[in-house]
Amino acid sequence: MATGIRTEQQRKALAAAAAYRDILGPNNFFLEMQYQGIEEQKIVNVGLQPIAKELGLELVATNDVHYLQNSDFKPHDILLCIGTGKTVNDTERLKYHGDQFYLKTAEEMAKVFGDFPQALANTVRIADRCNVDLSSTENHLPNFDVPAGFSLDEYFEHIVREGFQMRLPRLRDLQAKGILKHTIDEYERRLTYEIEMIKQMKYPGYFCITWDFIRYAREKGIPVGPGRGSAAGSFVAYCLRITDVDPIEYDLIFERFLNPERVSLPDIDIDFCERRRGEVIEYVTQKYGRENVAQIITFGTMKARAVVRDVARVMDIPYADADKVAKAVPPALDMTLKKALEESPALKDLQQKDDRVRELLEVAQRLEGMTRHASVHAAGVVIAPRPLVEFIPLYKSQKDEIVTQWAMKEVERVGLLKMDFLGLSTLTLIQDALDEIKRTEGIDLDIDAIPLDDAKTFALFSDGQT
């Protein structure tokens, strides 16, 4: 429509506005006026007025916001150059006209559109009609189908107790050898306690989902890790073969994993063979629906040294000079430019003696911590009960992967189930070693049955042969 006005095709612009009015309704469609010092915008703003009058539409005054404050104009320009791989001196580059693309105050907007008080008032009217609640009030767990005759809670208890029966022979064998630290009765009491606690916290579905895809992986011969983190403290997880470490034998605490006093979704990190991790994600996608499953986005941010190098390149500062400034930033993990200026006399000296370095550090500090690029999280997968678009925005990566547009913390905050499917090269290596032993020695070695007190192994560790 604005193009129609700019190119003096007023009838075409009028027809477009009329079509939108008819589709959306006159109360839901406004004609937008903007002015950031661009001459063409003046032509559009004048051309909108007769259209508004003829069609009975209202005008609304807005400002195109790309940065927060007027002073952010230069850092934003440099950020554009970083993103597009250009320098500030490149004439053929993307550039915003002027420095007015910031969040203006009501007074500043009134200076620009003072002749259109109703258009200014309409921005408030539209804002008042927006009602978005992103506070999480419930967890949106995927639907796990249980066999006929079972409720979810019943089926959960059924598979846990079935798993316990599978673990019992080992416990009885240890008991017979006199090396079981706790009685079978203690194991049974712990199991009942955990089952009831998991039911009380309404997490049986979570455990069924996790048990199901780990069972699938094992059936397909995909190596699965023995468990890591706080989940190893759950005897229910051990019975379901989600983990393979007996938590009672090692005095691991269930409450570190799940605690009614600190209600949060369980978080089980599962290791899969790096080569075949994708098969497990594909299984989950097929089972719960392609539109309900996605990997999670992760954002690469500009750290202290990297942002100095990026900004220096854009400002056409010679590489050797930029390298000198970057290397004056201490290499500590949590280093910021503010801390670096306090801790590094060399950096402070460069800042005080060289105007270019001072400007470089000013801009770099403003851009530090900002997102540089998006990629796919190494492990995170989200599974929803309905299409993900009903809960969160999605993003298409450069490789055409559909991932969440929100990072891990935001996904969890709105109550969606996030699971970590970690691809572990160690598991791939172990599997390759087992296959090679079978091929060359004819021995079918069970990695799960290897003793943890093997003297020769400890001798290797003692000699540093690792």
Dump pLDDT digits (tens) for 123-141.
Answer: 999 999 998 877 767 888 8
261 and 380 share a domain? yes
- Smallest CA-to-CA distance from 340 within 377, 379, 308, 302 is with 308
Match 């008042």 to its residue by tokens. Answer: 128
Global confidence as pTM: 0.77
Strand 371-383 vs strand 417-424: parallel, antiparallel, or unpaired? antiparallel
| Residues spanned by the domain of 285 | 152-298+375-428
Contact 418, 381 (CB under 8 A): yes
Residue 27 lies in a domain: yes
Residue 136 lies in a domain: no
For residue 63, what pLDDT is reported? 95
Q: Please name the helix (run of DSSP H) or strand (run of DSSP E) that holds residue 417, with its range, or none.
A: strand 417-424
Q: Please name the helix (run of DSSP H) or strand (run of DSSP E) that holds residue 60, with its range, or none.
A: strand 58-61
325 and 275 share a domain? no
- Smallest CA-to-CA distance from 447 within 298, 262, 269, 226 is with 226
Residue 25 is which amino acid?
G
N-term to C-term CA, the chain: 69
Residue 169 is which amino acid?
P
Q: pLDDT below 70 — which residues of the chain?
A: 1-8, 136
Residue 160 is which amino acid?
V
Q: Per the structure, how many domains does the chain have?
A: 3
For residue 5, what pLDDT is reported? 59
Residue 139 lies in a domain: no
Residue 440 is which amino acid?
T
> What residues pair up with 297 in beta bridges, in sequence order?
376
Q: Please name the helix (run of DSSP H) or strand (run of DSSP E) that holds residue 357, with its range, or none.
A: helix 355-367
For residue 404, what pLDDT is reported? 95
324 and 416 share a domain? no
Residue 248 lies in a domain: yes
115 and 257 share a domain? no
Cβ neighbourhood burial of 9 (10 Å; 0-12, 13-18, 19+): middle
212 and 252 share a domain? yes
202 and 120 share a domain? no
Strand 30-33 vs strand 58-61: parallel, antiparallel, or unpaired? parallel
For residue 7, what pLDDT is reported? 55
Contact 397, 403 (CB under 8 A): yes
42 and 185 share a domain? no
Tokens standing for residue 184: 């079978």
For residue 449, what pLDDT is reported? 83
Residue 415 lies in a domain: yes
Q: What is the largest CA-CA distance in the chain?
A: 94
- With a CB cutoff of 8 Å and minimum separation 6, the contacts of 169 are none
Tokens standing for residue 359: 């400007």
Q: In angstroms, what CA-CA distances link 166 with 163, 206, 243, 266? A: 5, 21, 14, 24
4 and 56 share a domain? yes
> What residues pair up with 419 in beta bridges, in sequence order?
381
For residue 183, what pLDDT is reported? 94
293 and 365 share a domain? no
Residue 88 lies in a domain: no
For residue 286, what pLDDT is reported? 94
Residue 218 lies in a domain: yes
Whole-angstrom distance, CA of residue 111 vs CA of residue 118: 14
285 and 382 share a domain? yes
- Smallest CA-to-CA distance from 357 within 331, 333, 337 is with 337
Angle CA(324)–CA(325)–CA(326) in degrees, nearest 5? Answer: 95
Tokens standing for residue 353: 């003696």
257 and 187 share a domain? yes
227 and 319 share a domain? no
Tokens standing for residue 330: 């201490």
Computed from CA positions of residues 237, 242, 244, 245, in that sequence, does the dihedral angle turn out positive or negative? negative
Residue 447 lies in a domain: no
- CATH number, domain of 346, equals 1.10.10.1600
For residue 263, what pLDDT is reported? 72
Whole-angstrom distance, CA of residue 196 vs CA of residue 283: 30
